[in-house]
Structures are given as C-alpha cells and as structure tokens.
Amino acid sequence: MANRRFTRRQVIATTSVGALGTFANLPLTSFSSNNTRKLAIHGGEKVRTAHWPEWPVWDQSAEKETLEMLRSGRWWRGRGESVADFEQKYAELMGAKRCLATASGTTALLVALQVLGVDAGDEVLVSPFTFIATYNSIFMNKALPVFVDTDPETFLIDPSKIEEKITDRTSAILPVHIYGLPVDMDKVNAVAKKHDLKVIEDACQAWLGEYKGKKLGTLGDLGCFSFQNSKNLPAGEGGAVIGNNDELMDQCYSFHNCGRPFGSVQRTSDYPMRGSNRRMQQMQAITLLSQMKRIQKDADIRLENALYLDKKLNEIPGIHTCKLVEGNNRSAYHMYPFRFVSKEFGNVTREQFLKALRAEGIPCSSGYGKQNKDGLIEEALNSRGYKRLFSEKRLKQWREENYLPGNDQLAKEAVTFYQSILLGSKSDMDDIVNAITKIYENRDSLAG
Ligand SMILES: Cc1ncc(COP(=O)(O)O)c(C=O)c1O
C-alpha cells in the first residue's frame, strides 16, 4: 500500500505542475458522471441517508457475569477474579509477558511514567498530535513535555527530529501511535538507546496494531492502553499497562495499589513504595472480557475498509491518505485519517469541506489542533512549581523552540472518520468515496 501511495506522489514530483493540472491527466472517469448533482449543503439530495454502525455494541453474554458480580458484592479487584482474568487474556492477546489493568488510559500513563522514574524537573519528549491526556500525564508528574514535530504525511512523531530536543534533563520518550498508526519504533528506540532514555508507548488508540510483527505497546519499556467508551475495546472507562520486564511490572502493580508490596516489591513495610489508587473495577473487566470476543474480527473489518478507502480516496485531487511507516504491519484505526489540501481542491477550505461532507450524510471531524500552543501549557509553565523546577533560561528556550511547522500543517489539513464507520460494508465505503467525489466536482459552488 505504501508503494501505491508513493507512485501517486511520484506522479506529482515527476510532472511538477500544479496539483489540479496533474490530476486532470489521471483517468478519473468517475468525476464526469455526476457533476451536475447539487450538493446536499445547497439543498440537493444527500449521498447517504442510512445510519452508520453504532458504538459501543453490548454483548448479552456478559449479562449473567455482571449480575452475579453485582449480587456478590465483589466489586473491586481485591475480592474478584475478573480483573486478573482480563489481565492474563489481554497480555496473551498483545503478546506481552504481563498486563496491569488500570482505571483509565490516563492512569496507565501515570503508572508507567512513575515506575520508569520520570521525576519532577525531568523532560519528556512527546508528540503534540495527540489527545490532551498524553501531555497532561507528564504535567501531573511535574515534568516538562518537550514537543517533537509531527511528520504530516504519517501523522506521527518525526523520529529524525527527536535527537535535537534532548537535554541533560530528558528522561523519556513518549511516542503516540495516534489513531492506531504505528510509529517507526526502531528509530525511536535507537535514539533512546543512544541517550539512555526510557520509552513509554502511548498505545491508547492502538489495540492490535502491529509494527514489524510485534503488537504496539510491546516495543518500548512499557505500553499504555485506554478502554474508554469510544475506544475500539470499550468498557466505559479503563486502561492497561503492558510490559515484558517482571520487576517493572511488579512495581507498576505495587504503585497502582497504593504502594503495597507485590512480587519483587518486598514487604519492608506495609507500603514499601510511594503509590496511588489506579485500580480497575470488576465491572470494567467483565465488560472488557466480553468486548474482547469481537476485537479481532472488528479490527480485520476496519483494516480491510481502511485499505479500500486508501485506494479509492487517493484518486481524488486534494485528498492525501496517510503514509504508513516502513514496518507497519497493520494499523488499528481508531480513526481513519487523511489530509485535505485546499489548494488542490479548488481552494475549498477544510471547514467548508467538512460541513459539505456532513451534509451528504458522512460524519467526519478535523484532527487535533496546535496542542503545543494549548493555554494549559503556559498556565503550567507560569506556575510556582514549574518556575522552581526549571530555570527562566530553560523556559525561554522551550518557548522559542516550540515551533512545529509539520504539526501546524497537519492541524490545518487533517480530516478523520470515527472507527465505527469503518465497520460498515464496502457499499458504505463507496458512499464516502461518492460523497467526496461529488463535493470535488462541485467545488466551485463551495469556494469563496
Ligand atoms: C492518545 C491517547 N492517550 C491517552 C488517552 C487517555 O485515556 P483515558 O481517556 O482512558 O484516560 C487517550 C484517550 O482518549 C488517548 O486517545
């Protein structure tokens, strides 16, 4: 698939004429067939009126276990078996030695950062194209998130830009497999090894995604997942840390359980390490165990439909599907992403495009914004604590270097479809392609 995309870009490079002119030379026969159809946003007929698959989908098989658990009063992990059962099955599914279930993805990140020694005054290298929880978790540890630019073609951290951001305070890299797209982990791990940094994978959107034959979340020191309600594996709330190092995983357990002894965390006292309560509840685990029955089949359907959309949408001028990194064996597709390039689409703005597409019956959204400029960051940097932890000189330099042109571009161009849309049929995917084609053909009626 990467090759197919590359071929398309080669076409652009070799002809080196304006994008619209270039694509006018391609055999886009479908564009001429329906260009008189009025856009739905202008009162025309919608391409699609049918509903899209709903999410989440309740599995009745979990009703019996749920009722039994409720009636038993064993609602927390200390008195029930479902959380431990889930941990064992999730570790198996991920090909990891161990799994620790947590209350949420955010708490999974907090456990991992703590156990890997990210301390107050440290710096953590992180992707800005992510959900706010990724860098909030760094702030919670009183460390400084240092944003590394995004490669707009892959939607992911640009590994070639990591090294230049390392300082003597850097203790970890936190790459994010956003939308379930695998980061080039060999490159991230090589930088980490060279500079003796820990790697925490934010795999909160990346269940069953694979890089070079390994599941995402198993490639760094620890991997973190979210099972919040919208996620491809949902439980209302929930999270997990996975890893292969027993000692580290024992510390994760101990920390998430108020610092009580566990495994190699010896009983030197009732609470031998600092800790917190980050435990998962039984109800969450029962829901997850039932939802896990469908995860592989759903992932296969999403993948097949995403590859189909890649092929079809790549033919439309101005639509740039995501470039997959070398070593990507499969993406998890929490969202299906592409870039909308206005100047190749008759100067229709992304916002006009999104509105027109929604009007055609295709739910869609933009991606993440310029999060490195998020107001909460300045609030943190100006706080008493951060001023104590970081010198004025360092914070000034941080602000000066907080310039991320690749991410800015993506913040302007990204368009996404939610994962449950990818659970539809081929003809549902054709509705998406037809709607975008229709908008392209009527682009002149939108622009301006
Ligand atoms: C990339 C990413 N990281 C972290 C999180 C935090 O997970 P949770 O919402 O379960 O706390 C999420 C959840 O949306 C996420 O998408």
Closest ligand 1 atom to Cα of 237: 10
In this structure, are 233 and 299 located in the same domain?
Answer: no
Final residue in a domain of this structure, among 290, 307, 330: 290
Write the CATH number for 163.
3.40.640.10
Nearest protein CA to atom 8 of ligand 1, as residue: 105
Closest ligand 1 atom to Cα of 178: 1
Nearest protein CA to atom 10 of ligand 1, as residue: 105
Closest ligand 1 atom to Cα of 238: 10
Residue ranges for the chain with pLDDT beneath 50:
1-35
- Region for residue 95 given its phi and psi (left: phi exceeds 0; alpha: psi -120 to 50; beta: otherwise): left
What pLDDT is stored for residue 53 in this prediction? 96
In this structure, are 226 and 276 located in the same domain?
Answer: yes
- If you ran DSSP here, which 8-state letter would residue 294 be given? H
What pLDDT is stored for residue 56 in this prediction? 97
Say how many C-beta atoms besides its own lie within 10 A of residue 46's C-beta: 17
Taking CB atoms and a 6 Å cutoff, what residues make up the pocket around ligand 1? 104-106, 130-131, 133-134, 176, 202, 204-205, 226, 228, 239
In this structure, are 135 and 36 located in the same domain?
Answer: no
State the distance from the centre of ligand 1 to the C-alpha of 157, rounded, in angstroms.
17
Q: How far apart (Å, rounded) are the C-alpha atoms in residues 304 and 310?
A: 10
State the distance from the centre of ligand 1 to the C-alpha of 131, rounded, in angstroms.
6
Q: Each residue of 339-390: pLDDT tens digit?
A: 999 999 999 999 999 999 999 999 999 999 999 998 899 999 999 999 999 9
Residue 241 inside a domain? The answer is: yes
Q: Which of 131, 137, 150, 278 to mutate to test the pocket of ligand 1 (most atoms within 8 A of CB)?
A: 131
Dihedral (CA of 113, 118, 120, 123) sign: negative
Q: Which two tokens stand for residue 429?
A: 């995917």
Q: Where are the alpha helices (DSSP H) in 231-280?
A: 246-256
Instruction: Characterize the bridge pairing of strands 414-418 and 123-126.
Output: unpaired
In this structure, are 163 and 305 located in the same domain?
Answer: no
In this structure, are 130 and 66 located in the same domain?
Answer: yes
In this structure, are 229 and 270 located in the same domain?
Answer: yes
Closest ligand 1 atom to Cα of 107: 11
In this structure, are 239 and 325 located in the same domain?
Answer: no
Residue 401 inside a domain? The answer is: no
Residue 302 inside a domain? The answer is: yes
Closest ligand 1 atom to Cα of 230: 14
In this structure, are 214 and 330 located in the same domain?
Answer: no
Say how many C-beta atoms besides its own lie within 10 A of residue 427's C-beta: 9
State the distance from the centre of ligand 1 to the C-alpha of 315, rounded, in angstroms.
33
In this structure, are 131 and 38 located in the same domain?
Answer: no
Q: Each residue of 86-116: pLDDT tens digit?
A: 999 999 999 999 999 999 999 999 999 999 9
Write the CATH number for 30.
3.90.1150.10
Nearest protein CA to atom 14 of ligand 1, as residue: 131
Please give the full DSSP string across 179-202, using - where no structure is assigned.
Answer: GGPPP-HHHHHHHHHHHT-EEEEE
Q: Which residues contact 49 (CB under 8 A, 6 or more apart)?
A: 361
Q: Which of 129, 204, 288 to mutate to test the pocket of ligand 1 (most atoms within 8 A of CB)?
A: 204
In this structure, are 129 and 231 located in the same domain?
Answer: yes
Residue 41 inside a domain? The answer is: yes
State the distance from the centre of ligand 1 to the C-alpha of 363, rounded, in angstroms.
21
State the distance from the centre of ligand 1 to the C-alpha of 104, rounded, in angstroms.
8
- Region for residue 425 given its phi and psi (left: phi exceeds 0; alpha: psi -120 to 50; beta: otherwise): beta
Residue 201 inside a domain? The answer is: yes
Q: Which two tokens stand for residue 75?
A: 């609602």
Q: Which two tokens stand for residue 37?
A: 């159809």
What pLDDT is stored for residue 22 in this prediction? 36
Q: Which of 205, 227, 281 to mutate to test the pocket of ligand 1 (most atoms within 8 A of CB)?
A: 205
Q: What is the dihedral of CA 194, 196, 197, 199, to 10 degrees?
A: 70
211: β partners: 214, 328
Q: 277 in helix, strand or coil?
A: strand
What pLDDT is stored for residue 127 in this prediction? 97
Q: Which residues contact 226 (CB under 8 A, 6 or more apart)?
A: 104, 105, 106, 108, 133, 204, 205, 238, 239
Domain that holds residue 36: 2-55+292-368+409-446
Closest ligand 1 atom to Cα of 227: 10
Q: Which of 228, 281, 416 to mutate to test the pocket of ligand 1 (most atoms within 8 A of CB)?
A: 228
Closest ligand 1 atom to Cα of 137: 4
Dihedral (CA of 257, 263, 268, 272) sign: negative
State the distance from the centre of ligand 1 to the C-alpha of 39, rounded, in angstroms.
36
What pLDDT is stored for residue 41 in this prediction? 97
Final residue in a domain of this structure, among 290, 307, 328: 290
Q: What angle do CA 254, 255, 257 make, to 5 degrees?
A: 65
Final residue in a domain of this structure, among 275, 290, 305: 290
Q: Residue 432 is inside which H or E element, if any?
A: helix 426-441
State the distance from the centre of ligand 1 to the C-alpha of 49, rounded, in angstroms.
32
State the distance from the centre of ligand 1 to the C-alpha of 388, rounded, in angstroms.
29
State the distance from the centre of ligand 1 to the C-alpha of 341, rounded, in angstroms.
28
Quote the number of domains for the chain.
2
State the distance from the centre of ligand 1 to the C-alpha of 38, rounded, in angstroms.
40
In this structure, are 216 and 357 located in the same domain?
Answer: no
State the distance from the centre of ligand 1 to the C-alpha of 367, rounded, in angstroms.
15
What pLDDT is stored for residue 36 in this prediction? 56
320: β partners: 339
In this structure, are 298 and 318 located in the same domain?
Answer: yes
State the distance from the centre of ligand 1 to the C-alpha of 107, rounded, in angstroms.
9
